[in-house]
Homo-oligomer: A and B are copies of this chain.
Amino acid sequence: MAETLIAVDLNQSPLENPLIHNRWHPDIPMAAWVNPGDEFVLETYDWTGGFIKNNDSADDVRDIDLSTVHYLSGPVGVKGAEPGDLLVVDLLDIGAKQDSLWGFNGFFSKKNGGGFLTEHFPQAQKSIWDIHGMFTKSRHVPGVSYAGLIHPGLIGCLPDRKMLEAWNTREVDFIATNPTRVPPLANAPFEPTAHMGQLTGEARDKAAAEGARTVPPREHGGNCDIKDLSRGSKIFFPVYVDGAGLSVGDLHFSQGDGEITFCGAIEMAGWVHMKVTLIKGGMAKYGIKNPIFKPSPITPHYNDYLIFEGISVDEQGQQHYLDVHVAYRQACLNAIEYLKKFGYSGAQAYSILGTAPVQGHISGVVDIPNACATLWLPTQIFDFDINPSAAGPTKFLDGSISMPLSPDL
């Protein structure tokens, strides 16, 4: 195995690890330097830094302080990288830490984070997924298992100062349009819980006050939560600062398109084995603004799907204009309703959509006024046959297993 440049100890707080950070800022010192062509390994905490536990209570999901996330490993400096280059990252392999062969999925309370279906699942719930080699299954969600489509939810390079300011400006302005909204429209910089890597003292405090939050995907990539950035893929990242400053975290054992459950995919601590090279001046050469990538040649190839349609008319019958968000929500709700006929609780069905290698397609986006989105549910992940038939569905589950729920306090 290539050298481990950043190690994490799951018994130690990420705040004590100076090679970890939870904000984006150009002043964060490089945690390590490598040369183009190098291979190396970065270990990572789960995105909450170990706050969520492998147990049968959703209290931790309910109580988490979301200003603390995401704990990232890095930044790694690449010698010779300059603004305008493309940093080519080969994700040679990704895995869970051997002392932590499990992951979690959950829904945040609507009062603390929410999620895609928060109106339907407003309370904190959690499921634990055990990792069995290449596969996962859950003691809280019976009847399904799947091969892992392992990927980092969050990966990207440091912004320069100009980009950082653009981010903060547009998001703070956006929050200002509805500052009391719950969940909020966006997250502003927040100094108290910022972990700025090796920065200390005044330098830390200044950067912490400015550091962009890690929640949204942005021009540099970041928290894209793209399930297809999986091990074996090759990513071309825009470079904004000398050395590039690549950070990674928020590893997922598996996730459906959209990461609709928000907390999150199957979240795990682990390691990423990667190789970096450069395309000098690549941003201009290829007209690149956001990262581009090539998918892995080795991903689960479930190919028998049951596909659910949704259109941009909401649950109340209200019309929306070509709104893919609303359309995908309807497709998800349709799938949940369907799975309930086989004995799943709504929460379990929601968890499956959030964690399995489900595809979400933007199927039609011009046929006014309705967008059409489709949710592709792989049938081969179920222990039983979920296809429709003239006989109607069989209730394979008796409801004796449920997902932990922690009501708001």
Q: Which residue of B lies closest to A280 (CB)?
A: B390
Say if the beta carbon of A215 comes within 8 Å of chain B. yes
Which residues of B are found within 8 Å of A359, using beta-carbon distances? 361
Say if the beta carbon of A370 comes within 8 Å of chain B. yes
Q: Which residue of B lies closest to A187 (CB)?
A: B368
How many monomers of this chain does the complex have? 4
Q: How far is it, in angstroms, between the C-alpha of A134 and the C-alpha of B328 when the chains are bound?
A: 31
Contact (Cβ within 8 A) A217 B324: no
Looking at the assembled complex, report how far the CB atom of A10 sits from the nearest CB atom of chain B, in whole angstroms: 15
Q: Which residue of B lies closest to A313 (CB)?
A: B170
Query: Interface size class for chain A?
Result: 35 or more
Q: Which residue of B lies closest to A362 (CB)?
A: B360
Interfacial residues of chain A within 93-122, with CB under 8 A of chain B in the complex:
93, 98, 101, 115-116
Q: Which residue of B lies closest to A279 (CB)?
A: B390
Q: How far is it, in angstroms, between the C-alpha of A134 and the C-alpha of B151 when the chains are bound?
A: 13
Contact (Cβ within 8 A) B133 A374: no
- Of the candidates B115, B236, B290, B369, which one forms a contact with A216 in the assembled complex, judged by CB atoms under 8 Å apart? B369
Which residues of B are found within 8 Å of A273, using beta-carbon distances? 132-133
Say if the beta carbon of A183 comes within 8 Å of chain B. yes
Say if the beta carbon of A373 comes within 8 Å of chain B. yes
Contact (Cβ within 8 A) B319 A286: no
Contact (Cβ within 8 A) A115 B258: no
Say if the beta carbon of A393 comes within 8 Å of chain B. yes
Interfacial residues of chain A within 259-306, with CB under 8 A of chain B in the complex:
259-262, 264, 273, 275, 277-282, 285-306
* CB-CB under 8 A for A368 and B300, given A319-B174, A363-B227: no
- Of the candidates B39, B298, B371, which one forms a contact with A134 in the assembled complex, judged by CB atoms under 8 Å apart? B298
From A21-29, A75-83, A198-206, A333-341, the one touching the partner chain is A333-341
* CB-CB under 8 A for A228 and B258, given A170-B317, A171-B319, A287-B337: no
Contact (Cβ within 8 A) A304 B306: no
Contact (Cβ within 8 A) B334 A289: yes
Say if the beta carbon of A400 comes within 8 Å of chain B. no
Q: Which 6 A/B pairs are nearest by Cβ-Cβ distance? A: A92-B133, A93-B133, A324-B324, A360-B362, A225-B364, A287-B337
Question: What are 15 A-B pairs at a CB distance below 8 A?
Answer: A93-B133, A133-B273, A134-B231, A216-B368, A217-B309, A224-B364, A225-B363, A228-B307, A236-B388, A286-B393, A292-B307, A294-B307, A297-B380, A301-B303, A385-B385
